[in-house]
Structure 1
Amino acid sequence: MIIEGIIWAVISGLMLGLYALPAKFTKGFQEENTWGLFFMQTMFLVPILATLTLMKGVGDIYSTPAVQEVLPVMIVSAVLWGIGVMMWGKAIHHIGLSLGFSIFIGTVILVGSVLPIGIGIAKSGVEGLPEAPVLALILLGIAIVLLGILFNGRAGLVREAEEKISNKDAAGKSGKKSMGAGIAIAVIGGLLATGFNVAFTVGGEPLGEAVAAAGNPPWMVSLAVMLVVFLSGGVIMAGYFGWQITSKKAWGSFKTPAFGLNFVLIFVMAVFHYAASVGYGYGAGLFELGPVVVYAIFNTTCVVVAVISGIYTKEWINASSKARNSLYTGLSAMVLGVVILAGSQYLSTKKGEVEPAAPAEAALPDA
Structure 2
Amino acid sequence: MSFSIGVILVTLGGILEGLFSIPVTKVKSWQFENIWGIGSLFALLLLPWPLASLYVEDLSQLYSSIPNTVLIGIILSGVAWGIGGIYWGRAIAAMGMALGVSILMGLINIFGSIVPLSVFEPSQLATKGGYILIIAVTTMILGVVIMSVAAKQKETVLISKDKSTNTSHVKGSFKSGILFCIISGILSAGVNFAFIFGAPITDEAIAMQVPEYATSFALWSLVFTANFFINTVYGFYMMVKKGTLKNLKKGSLTIEWLGALFMGLAWPGGIIIYGIGANAMGDYGAYAGFPMMILASILTGNLAGALGGEWKNSGSKPRRIMLYGVLTLCVAFILLGYSTYVMNG
Give TM-score, length-normalised by structure 2: 0.89
2:95·2:177 contact (CA, 8 Å) conserved in 1? yes
Query: Among residues 125, 134, 158, which one is paired with 1:129 in the alignment?
Result: 125
- The corresponding residue for 1:49 is 50
Deviation at 1:271, TM superposition (A): 1.5
Q: C-alpha separation between the residues in 2 aligned to 1:176 and 1:32?
A: 15
Q: Which residue of 2 aligns with 1:234?
A: 228
The 3-state SS of whatever aligns with 1:62 is helix
Equivalent residue runs for 1:163-312 within 5 Å: 163-169=158-164, 171-172=166-167, 175=170, 178-205=173-200, 207-257=201-251, 259=253, 261-286=255-280, 287-312=282-307
Q: Which runs of 5+ in 1 are unaligned?
A: 356-367
Q: Which residue of 2 aligns with 1:83?
A: 83
Once the 2 structures are TM-superposed, how far is the Cα of residue 91 of structure 1 from its aligned partner?
Answer: 1.3
1:103 pairs with 2:98:
no
Distance 1:111 1:329, change over 3 A: farther
1:117 aligns with 2:117: yes
User: How far off its partner does 1:157 sit?
Assistant: 2.3
Aligned-pair CA distance for 1:251? 0.4
Give per-residue Cα distances to partners, 1:149-175, cap 9 Å, x unaligned. 212222232223223323334745994
Match of 1:363 in 2: none
Equivalent-residue separation in structure 2 for 1:155 and 1:187 (angstroms): 19
Q: Distance in 2 between matches of 1:173 and 1:22?
A: 17
Residue 354 of structure 1 is matched in structure 2 by 344
- The TM-score, its normalising length taken from structure 1, stands at 0.84
Shift of 1:81: 1.0
Q: Is the 8 A contact 1:47 1:226 kept in 2?
A: yes
Change (3 A) 1:37 1:330: same
Tell me if the contact between 2:81 and 2:187 (Cα under 8 Å) persists in the aligned partners.
Answer: yes
Task: Give, in angstroms, the shift of residue 228 of structure 1.
Answer: 0.8
Structure 1 residues 319 and 345, CA gap change in structure 2 (3 angstroms): same
After TM superposition, give the deviation of residue 176 of structure 1 in Å: 8.6
Note the 1:49-68 alignment, pairs <5 A: 49-64=50-65, 66-68=66-68
**Alpha-carbon shift at residue 274 of structure 1 (Å):** 1.8
Could you say if the C-alpha distance between residues 217 and 172 of structure 1 is closer, same or farther in structure 2, counting changes exceeding 3 Å? closer
Superposed CA offset, 1:127-186 (max 9, x none): x4352x333322211111111221222223222322332333474599495223223312
Secondary structure, counterpart of 1:129 in structure 2? helix
Between 273-282 and 288-297, report the one with greater CA deviation: 288-297
2:9 is aligned with 1:8: yes
| Letter matched to residue 246 of structure 1 | V
Amino acid at match of 1:203: G
Partners of 1:172 and 1:234 in 2: CA distance: 31
User: Residues 9 and 55 (structure 1 numbering): CA distance in 2 closer, same or farther, change over 3 Å?
Assistant: same
Question: Counterpart of 1:285 in 2: which secondary structure?
Answer: helix
Aligned to 2:147: 152
Distance 1:169 1:25, change over 3 A: closer
Shift of 1:312: 0.7
Report the CA distance shift for 1:49/1:234 in structure 2 as closer, same or farther (over 3 A).
same
Distance 1:321 1:247, change over 3 A: farther
Deviations, residues 33-66 of structure 1 (Å, cap 9, x unaligned): 11110111113443233223343212222222x2
Q: Decide whether aligned partners of structure 1 residues 212 and 345 sit closer, same or farther in structure 2, where only a CA change above 3 A counts.
A: closer
In the TM superposition, residue 253 of structure 1 has moved relative to its aligned partner by 0.3
1:267–1:174: structure 2 CA closer, same or farther, 3 Å change rule?
A: closer
Q: Which residue of 2 aligns with 1:323?
A: 318
Alignment match, 1:334: 329
Do the aligned partners of residues 182 and 325 (structure 1) sit closer, same or farther apart at CA in structure 2, a change above 3 Å counting? farther
Q: Alignment partner of 2:312: what SS?
A: coil
User: Contact 1:78–1:230 (CA<8 Å) still a contact in 2?
Assistant: yes
Distance in 2 (CA, whole Å) between partners of 1:53 and 1:23 is: 31
The percentage of counterpart residues that share the same residue type is: 24
Q: Which moved more, 1:138-147 or 1:268-277?
A: 268-277
Root mean square deviation of aligned Cα: 2.5
Q: Following the alignment from structure 1 to structure 2, what is the Cα–Cα distance between the partners of residues 256 and 176? A: 24
CA distances 1:273-299 after superposition (whole Å, capped 9, x unpaired): 222111111111221331233222222
Shift of 1:195: 0.9
